[in-house]
Amino acid sequence: MLYYLYNYLNSIIHLPGEGMVQSISFRAALAVILSLTISMVYGKNLIARLRNLQVSDEIRILGLDGEQAKKGTPTMGGLIILAAILIPTFLFARINNVYIILILVSTIWLGLVGFLDDYIKVFRKNKEGLAGRFKILGQVGLGFIVATTLYFNEHVKTKEFFKPSAVTEEFVKANELTSQVIDGDLYWVRDQKATTTTVPFFKHSELDYADLARFVGNSYKDYNYLVFLLVVIFIITAVSNGANITDGIDGLAAGTSAIIGFVLGLFAYVSGNFIISSYLNIMYIPNLGEMVIFAFALVGACVGFLWYNSYPAQVFMGDTGSLALGGIIATFSIMVRKELLIPILCGIFLVENLSVMIQVSYFKYTKRKYGAGKRVFLMSPLHHHYQKLGFHESKIVTRFWIIGIMLAIVTIITLKVR
């Protein structure tokens, strides 16, 4: 909103700093500063308010060290994260941008689903919270919104540029490339729909989700939207659940999300910049650069939240925060066409999810076969397994962050290893 206010006032009276206001990097810097300020200053007041209202989740007795000390800790701290993301984005981003609108909808949508879950647990005294089927319905609903918008909106498309010396004549004909002169240089251009995504580690290799339906015959392209819809729903459901499961010990989900958010912001910057994207030989996605502002607000919100959520936590984010963070990361990854990198970038979420699936599946299998269930891990999710081994929460979180940073670096390297 401040962006539009400045432009309006600048049209009436000439104001200094026009170049700075137009700069995405400058507005992103303001966003991260404001998000940090909101989460750290507003967070203190909200925590006091939650404590006065006795908004605390019931602590499950798992036999872990430090459980008793966590009793009475306020939950629903995800409200801090949501405020620290939404306010800077509304103020500094161009909110008529389709990507900004879609990511804001995703944030609010799953934030509300998580809020309902926390509300039922805290105020209705139902420790089960929102029924699982309603959570899934919310995730599927968001997947439908994201997939439909990206598929049908005319402002959502990618362009891939090739220098004449980098492609053969056969490649130009096979891919129906068109020529375009930019700044006096000739480029071959390939327009692509949102259903086309980048295949990591390979140059000039993209996957159109329609290709997954080739088994139906020559009419497989008619199922492009349906395949894309199913893929988007799966990604959003998997990542949001992964973030939700990871939020089990102080600071783990917030710190991991900050690392992932920084990488996604970097991807948005290079993919939304024609010069950098052509240099790296990756998809150029017009209008995507505004997402850098949102990404920096996300990073600032998560880091600021750690001020109160690091061990020993003064507040828990609850499902209000964890479901929203997972949905944001999933939607963002799909927008920048890097969803195939999620198993690497979101490796912490993945192994946490897998540890639960393996534990439950193996327990059911052994109980059915031997009459008594057996376990692979001492406890799942994985972070509880290490707690059972005697590792302190802070050590587990720090080491998971280090692994997350390593995975982030590997993900960034894929821009060049092609």
Mean per-residue pLDDT for 264-286? 87
- Tell me the three state secondary structure of residue 188: strand
> Would you list the domain boundaries of the chain?
2-157+193-413
Dig out the tokens for 135 from the structure.
Answer: 């959570």
Mean pLDDT, rounded, for 96-111: 95
- Between CA 120 and CA 374 the distance in angstroms is 33
Residue 21 has pLDDT above 80, yes or no: no
For 335-382, write each residue's pLDDT tens digit. 999 999 999 999 999 999 999 999 999 999 999 988 888 999 999 999
Written as one letter, the residue type at 371 is G
287-346 tens-digit pLDDT: 899 999 999 999 999 999 999 999 989 999 999 999 999 999 999 999 999 999 999 999
- What confidence score (pLDDT) does residue 8 get? 67
pLDDT at 156 over 80: no
Maximum average pLDDT range among 55-69, 77-91, 123-137, 190-204:
77-91
Distance separating alpha carbons of residues 289 and 110, to the nearest angstrom: 24
pLDDT band at residue 160 using 50, 70 and 90 as cut-offs: low
Question: Cβ(162)–Cβ(187) under 8 Å?
Answer: yes
Which range in 64-73, 156-165, 214-223, 279-288 is most confidently predicted, on average pLDDT? 279-288
Tokens found for residue 104: 């804001």
pLDDT at 399: 97
Q: CA 185 to CA 187: how far, in whole Å?
A: 7
From CA 337, how far away is CA 115, in angstroms rounded? 29
> Residues of the chain with pLDDT > 70: what percent?
90
Higher pLDDT, 31 or 201: 31
Give residue 387's pLDDT.
Answer: 92
Place of tokens 């899934």: 136
How many residues can be counted in the chain?
Answer: 418
pLDDT value of position 127: 78
What does the pLDDT read at residue 418?
67
pLDDT of residue 17: 66
**377 phi-psi bin (left φ>0, alpha ψ -120 to 50, beta other):** beta
